Structure 1
């Protein structure tokens, strides 16, 4: 939220979202106060994106106990909304991957901000969220013309995610195999996630699902991701009015 505060202070019109704020990093009351404060000082331009994170980050890094994601998130949201009369309008979204977390997003928040997914997942998410909820999806784009170099860059970018069970389960549900996800990722997997062809298909498929925003995470040989979903601007989806 500290980055969000800075970005809001340097802008006047665009909306800024925290995507993805780890619910184990701050308690529900702190998140609620942060949302209300940043909304108040920015003219309601802040969107609170929340996620359950991953076991290694929660237990090994932070020293907490990772509990069941769905029930933990439901309880966390219940505490955020405690005694609130208009909570259904609060600009909160969830980093949802699986169908049950997506359903929770539709039930208790304004929508979802999936990360590391494919157009097939976007279509599924849209069907679960329905036409009235927000859906802002991260898509990686590799700024490289040579296929072999693009794949190498893609593997380097995705390496840290390939060991995380939450993402692996999501990718397996999308039709990838364990073999696709081992050894740095198969060409099939890498191409689906970051290749120029995937982006062309992604854009077309995204339009066909009526998802109204296309945030990206771009990388090349000389730059690290300039804007990722952890530091993202929801250009149209969350724009005022």
Structure 2
């Protein structure tokens, strides 16, 4: 399979981490530096209520030297397109092209919390990209063109990601989605799914932790349940934090080899890069899991 040029920068495996915005800055810096030292190629993070993507990216970039820092995703309702375009270029210029702008329409409940109006996400993202491309920019140009990817689940958004961005970043998806996304994107564009992971071999404990710290929240968001219906999941799978079948499809749990196999399944299905999200029972940063996984994934 032809790989996107970005793969040489971000590698085959990265980290998706939602917790770095909720800890003191010094702790976030130390974690980012360790993730880089472990050999992960990119550090992704989200933008939810109470967080801001550009300042968080600047903090993580300043704490690292080689790793790509990527928004997964920056919410288009939070800042206008001109600001997003300038921010991406400024950060790329200041940090040797190590910033990757992931953009998306987020979810109606999360957008409503910020006081914005969520409507027609495909049209909104397309208009936002138009405005970005037309925005003036007076700052220093990065040595290489700043890249962007789109959060994409459905066919139309995936098509837009192929046409107007470097590719797609998917979240809360089974490996079947990765295969379908590759079919829609074609051979060239980047495909970088997130994969939640949990080093826990007891099935009951693993699924309980996965529900408590991951699936229960996301199954309240219609964009995700709507996407999962495309792959044979239904209302009975969405109840009570997710059926065993759904939890097992979304969260890779077990020993190191089980996690490695799931990552390989994504790669075999067409992913260029897989971003691991460590789930921690104590709501910590899960760095111990990333330390244990890195050698098995050929990192370091």
TM-score, normalized by length of structure 1? 0.86
Decide which of 79, 89, 98 is 2:131's aligned counterpart.
Answer: 79
Per the TM alignment, residue 200 of structure 1 is displaced from its structure 2 partner at its CA by 5.3
Q: SS at 1:40's partner residue?
A: helix
* Corresponding residue number in structure 2 for 1:222: 282
What is the CA distance between 1:196 and its match in structure 2?
A: 2.8
Partner of 1:3: 56
Matches for 1:49-88 after TM superposition, within 5 Å: 49-59=102-112, 61-82=113-134
Aligned to 2:292: none
Structure 1 residue 43: Cα displacement: 1.3
Q: CA contact under 8 A between 1:144 and 1:220: conserved in structure 2? A: no
The number of residues matched between the two structures is 224
Could you tell me which residue of structure 2 aligns to residue 231 of structure 1? none
Find the aligned partners of 1:127 and 1:52 in 2 and give their Cα distance. Answer: 23
Secondary structure at the counterpart of residue 174 of structure 1 = coil
Which residue of 167, 184, 190 maps to 2:224?
167
Tell me how far apart the structure 2 counterparts of residues 83 and 213 of structure 1 sit (CA, whole Å).
Answer: 30
The 8 Å contact of residues 217 and 225 in structure 1, kept in 2 or not, is answered as: no
1:17 aligns with 2:74: no
2:32 is the alignment partner of 1:32: no
The DSSP-based 3-state class of the residue aligned with 1:81 is helix
What is the DSSP-based 3-state SS (H/G/I as helix, E as strand, rest coil) of the residue aligned with 2:188? Answer: coil
Instruction: Give the C-alpha shift of residue 105 in structure 1.
Output: 0.2
Return the match for 1:184 from 241, 250, 255: 241
Which residue pairs with 1:130 in the alignment?
A: 186
Query: CA 1:97–1:83 in 2, change beyond 3 Å: closer, same or farther?
Result: same
- Equivalence for 2:94: 41
Tell me the alpha carbon deviations over residues 156-210 of structure 1, each in whole angstroms, 9 at most, x when there is no partner: 1211111111001011111101110112211111111114367455323223234
Cα RMSD between the aligned structures?
2.1
CA distance in 1, matches of 2:197, 2:285: 9
Mark the CA change 1:208 to 1:102 in structure 2 (over 3 Å): closer, same or farther.
same
SS at match of 1:220: coil
- Flag the 1:17–1:187 CA change in 2: closer, same or farther, 3 A: same
Report the more deviating stretch, 195-204 or 34-43.
195-204
Residue 226 of structure 1, CA deviation: 4.3
